[in-house]
Amino acid sequence: MKLDGILPFARQLVASALSPGDLAVDATIGNGHDTLFLAKLVGESGIVYGFDIQNEAIANTTKRLLNDNLLERVTLFHKGHEQLRNNIPEDHHGKIKAAIFNLGYLPGGNKSIVTTPVTTISAIEQLLEIMAPEGIIVLVIYHGHEEGALERDILLPFVKQIDQKAAHVLQYQFINQQNSPPFIIAIEKR
């Protein structure tokens, strides 16, 4: 297939926004795959801020980063992403170039702990305030489970009403696949 799959496209978008020395956010670190990807992109002089509400996610991500000797460039918060503005140092506000949200539950973890639209929307609003112009937020939405479908139904109307003078909003989705495959919303701050 020549078309990018959902996860490769999500990573391509994030990579297009980041250079060595940049600041990035992983809003749902989970098992740390995206955190590690961001840590490599920002290089030695960059910083990744990562958030998750589960101990297991902090432990798994810490282990993954240690394995690659990249923990130093990552600051992990055992807190919800709805608290990101108050936790990212003020002198870094206006400088964040990319953020990723992989929504839903922790793979291999407790499936009843999921992201929720209220906190996701709050975090997006905060990021739109504290990101750099042309900063990109990528949301990967898994709507094949009940809470995911609900999250989709609340998130889509929210992102569609973001003023086009404030941000470009894109949806990337395979529309002929079965079983509700994940899709992407990308938001580029203007």
Residue 37, token pair as written in the block: 């990807």
Q: Count of residues binding ligand SAM (CB under 6 A)?
A: 22
The owner of tokens 């992989």 is 102
Compute how many other C-beta atoms are within 10 angstroms of the C-beta atom of residue 168. 13
x/- track of binding to ligand SAM for residues 126-165 (CB under 6 A): ----------------------------------------
- In the region spanning residues 65 to 94, those forming contacts with ligand SAM, defined by CB under 6 A, are 80-82
183 binds ligand SAM (CB under 6 A): no
Sign (positive or negative) of CA dihedral 31, 36, 42, 48: positive
Of 34 and 188, CB closest to ligand SAM: 34
> Any contact of residue 34 with ligand SAM (CB under 6 A)?
yes
Site stretch for ligand SAM (CB under 6 A), options 30-38, 152-160, 165-173, 176-184: 30-38
Exactly one of 70, 115, 131, 137 binds ligand SAM (CB under 6 A); that residue is 115
Cβ neighbours of residue 108 under 8 Å, at least 6 residues apart? 31
| Residue in this structure with the two tokens 């889509």, named with its chain if needed | 156
DSSP collapsed to 3 states, 78-112: CCCHHHHHHHCCHHHCCCEEEEEEECCECCCCCCC
The residue ranges that bind ligand SAM (CB under 6 A) are 27-34, 51-54, 57, 80-82, 102, 104, 106, 113, 115, 119
